[in-house]
Chains A and B, each alone.
Chain A
Amino acid sequence: MLIVEKNALSEEIESYVNKYGNDRSALLMILHEIQKKHRHISEFAQQEVARLLNIHPVEVYSVISFFAFLNDNPKGRNLVRVCQTISCDMKGKKQVVEAIERELGIKIGNTTKDNKFTVEYANCLGLCDMGPAMAINDRVYTNLTPEKAVELLAKVK
């Protein structure tokens, strides 16, 4: 990581600390902001958060490792989460996933070679009356068919 990049990241994290506060109870929202912008929370970012909140970096890591939506390794530029829970399962999540796998040439749980997509399973998204459901980044899509799901991915930049 270049020094300028490091400085920029430090500044960014400082702005989150200004927004949410510098005590530990601000941690989840700060991590959330970093994750949203960078799609992962790097070791350097973890150290900066720890420094600014005056806690040990291991504490930050332990929180990241606990939550499904926080990760320390970069993922693809777009994160696709397909609901795997029973109501969506009954409405054909398997066919949706298979279509996505064929189209992107990867198995679920992986990232495409061009780094454009990471495709994962998620547990119930709270859209069970409109399954199958999936999220692309922070947007959600419902009543999917294999064809619609693939069309949606094609529209993503």
Chain B
Amino acid sequence: MESIIFNPKEKKRTGPVIFSEYKRGDAIRKIITMSREDILFELKDSKLKGRGGAGFPTSTKWMLTAAAKSDHKFIVCNADEGEPGTFKDRVLLSEYPELVFDGMVIGGYTIGAQQGILYLRGEYEYLLKPLEDYLEDMRKDNLLGNNILGKEGFNFDISIVLGSGAYVCGEETALIESLEGHRGEPRNRPPYPINTGYLGRPTCVNNVETLSAITHIVMKGGSWFSKFGTDKSSGSKLFSVSGDCAKPGVYELPWGIKVSELLKIVEAKNTKAVQIGGASGYCIPKSQFERAIAYEDIPTGGSVMIFDESRDMLHVLKNFMEFFVDESCGQCTPCRIGNHKLLEGVEMIERGEYTFSYINKLKDLGRTMQVTSKCGLGQSSPNPFISILENFKDEIFNRSNGGRNGR
């Protein structure tokens, strides 16, 4: 029953980009013959955007960190993966650590960092020891350490820091705060980590999947990568699929795929709703299943949660809002108080003790939170509240018996 394995050798997955062939160290062997500019050029050509959710162009982030003047820079791999319904980074770390770590080494070389840090969520503690052993093997093969693969002055090593159960620490400035030994509370931006990050030094924070994509881009070229996907969303995406379907799991699919196509692949039946982007994403009703998953239409970090006809969408919404009340760091008022108010609103509907005018006020509150919260948590936590109450209003507001309906 303990199905969590660390097995980088036995690979059964296949996919166009991320899950395509790769051998540890190959990309490192290749970059030592390349200039930083060449690597940045390939990255630009690939049009890769950050896979952590925000979708920032990776080549821009790397160019800015590479250009920052400092004798100490850092590359941080964000493996905090706390967004409900997301588990693709767990799969990459446990089955494809070579993609992630080689990507960090490429980052070190390109931006001029000598230290890499993997910030691993506390929930994945069982991966700590095997990943540390893996790093030790890389050191033995001189893929880490001093003068890597004989390249004079190419010094880089990776350490792992374990998070301790806080969703907000996935936000990059909160992550840096916690690395520095502080409470994981997001910082005001600017300054951005690319100038003033970990210990005040230029720091490039990238998602696990972003770094894995880079390893393949280095091997096969930026134009190869951008052939997949759509114009504004190049490459493929890992989707973490859970909920009501016959085949939950991690899928590598091209950007631009329609929701309905994805549902077919994972064998979902009688689907009523799909939550895309995790708790902080949007809930899409059946009438919108022909929309495309891509930055042009529905952008996402890859969480897909499927709900069939039997599900109570108010219950789903309540679960999400409880999550945000739990995970708000409490630093700023819109988020700290706002999420409580939204959850209270859901409970009022549940009991049948609400007025439409009050619920509309709460939606306005949600829109205010989206623009006034300090970080992405409070800016996006109203998304499910607004989208579920809009898209499923018939089901939710036609409840009788004070909403209990025999449930």
A66 to B174 alpha-carbon distance, docked (Å):
12
Contact A62 B183 (CB under 8 A): yes
Question: For residues 112 through 138 of chain A, which have their beta carbon under 8 Å from a beta carbon of chain B?
Answer: 122-131, 135, 138
> What is the CB-to-nearest-CB distance from B298 to chain A, in angstroms, rounded to a whole number?
19
Question: For residues 39 through 87 of chain A, which have their beta carbon under 8 Å from a beta carbon of chain B?
Answer: 53, 55, 59, 62-63, 66-70, 84-87
B69-101: CB near A (< 8 Å → 1, else 0) gives: 000000000000111111101100000000000
Whether B403 is near chain A, meaning CB under 8 Å from some CB there, is no
A86 to B312 alpha-carbon distance, docked (Å):
11
Contact B84 A143 (CB under 8 A): no
Contacts of A23 in B (CB 8 A): 181
Contacts of A26 in B (CB 8 A): 181
Contact A126 B162 (CB under 8 A): no
Q: Which among A8-16, A27-35, A101-109 touches the partner chain?
A: A27-35
What is the chain A residue whose CB lies nearest that of B82? A124
Whether B4 is near chain A, meaning CB under 8 Å from some CB there, is yes
Whether B180 is near chain A, meaning CB under 8 Å from some CB there, is yes
Contact A126 B87 (CB under 8 A): yes
What is the chain B residue whose CB lies nearest that of A152? B1
Whether A7 is near chain B, meaning CB under 8 Å from some CB there, is no
Contacts of B182 in A (CB 8 A): 24, 63
Contacts of A63 in B (CB 8 A): 181-183
Q: A69-B164, A90-B243, A122-B123 are in contact. Are A128 and B87 (CB under 8 A)?
A: yes
Interface residues on B, range: 35 or more
Contacts of B311 in A (CB 8 A): 90
Contact B161 A126 (CB under 8 A): no
Q: A85-B84, A86-B320, A139-B126 are in contact. Are A129 and B249 (CB under 8 A)?
A: yes
Contact A67 B1 (CB under 8 A): no
> What is the CB-to-nearest-CB distance from B266 to chain A, in angstroms, rounded to a whole number?
10
Interface residues on A, range: 35 or more
What is the chain B residue whose CB lies nearest that of A32? B162
A16 to B106 alpha-carbon distance, docked (Å):
31
Q: A67-B184, A142-B3 are in contact. Are A86 and B316 (CB under 8 A)?
A: yes
Of B2, B164, B327, which is within 8 A of A28 by CB? Answer: B164
Contacts of A70 in B (CB 8 A): 164-165
Whether B396 is near chain A, meaning CB under 8 Å from some CB there, is no
Interface-centre pick from A35, A69, A70, A129 (highest chain B CB count, 10 A): A129
> What is the CB-to-nearest-CB distance from A2 to chain B, in angstroms, rounded to a whole number?
29
A141 to B243 alpha-carbon distance, docked (Å):
18
A85 to B87 alpha-carbon distance, docked (Å):
13
A26 to B122 alpha-carbon distance, docked (Å):
16
Contact A28 B241 (CB under 8 A): no
Of A90, A122, A130, A152, which is within 8 A of B244 by CB? Answer: A90
Of A29, A62, A128, A131, which is within 8 A of B240 by CB? Answer: A128
Whether B179 is near chain A, meaning CB under 8 Å from some CB there, is yes
B1-32: CB near A (< 8 Å → 1, else 0) gives: 11110000000000000000000000000000
B230-245: CB near A (< 8 Å → 1, else 0) gives: 0000000000111110
Contacts of B124 in A (CB 8 A): 126
Contacts of A141 in B (CB 8 A): 1-2
What is the chain A residue whose CB lies nearest that of B247? A129
Contact A28 B181 (CB under 8 A): yes
Question: For residues 313 through 366 of chain B, which have their beta carbon under 8 Å from a beta carbon of chain A?
Answer: 316, 319-320, 322-323, 326-327, 329
Whether A38 is near chain B, meaning CB under 8 Å from some CB there, is no
**Interface, chain A (partner B; CB < 8 A):** 23-29, 31-32, 35, 53, 55, 59, 62-63, 66-70, 84-87, 89-90, 122-131, 135, 138-144, 148, 152
**Interface, chain B (partner A; CB < 8 A):** 1-4, 81-87, 89-90, 121-126, 161-167, 178-185, 198-199, 240-244, 248-250, 275, 279, 305, 307, 311, 316, 319-320, 322-323, 326-327, 329
16 contacts between A and B (CB under 8 A): A25-B180, A27-B181, A32-B162, A53-B181, A86-B243, A86-B279, A122-B165, A126-B81, A128-B86, A128-B87, A129-B87, A129-B240, A135-B123, A139-B126, A142-B4, A144-B1
Per CB-CB distance, the 5 closest pairs between chain A and chain B, nearest first, are A27-B181, A68-B165, A67-B164, A24-B181, A128-B242
Supply 12 further A-B pairs (C-beta < 8 A) apart from A127-B4, A135-B123, A144-B1. Answer: A23-B181, A28-B164, A85-B85, A86-B305, A87-B85, A89-B319, A123-B327, A124-B84, A124-B86, A138-B126, A140-B2, A142-B2
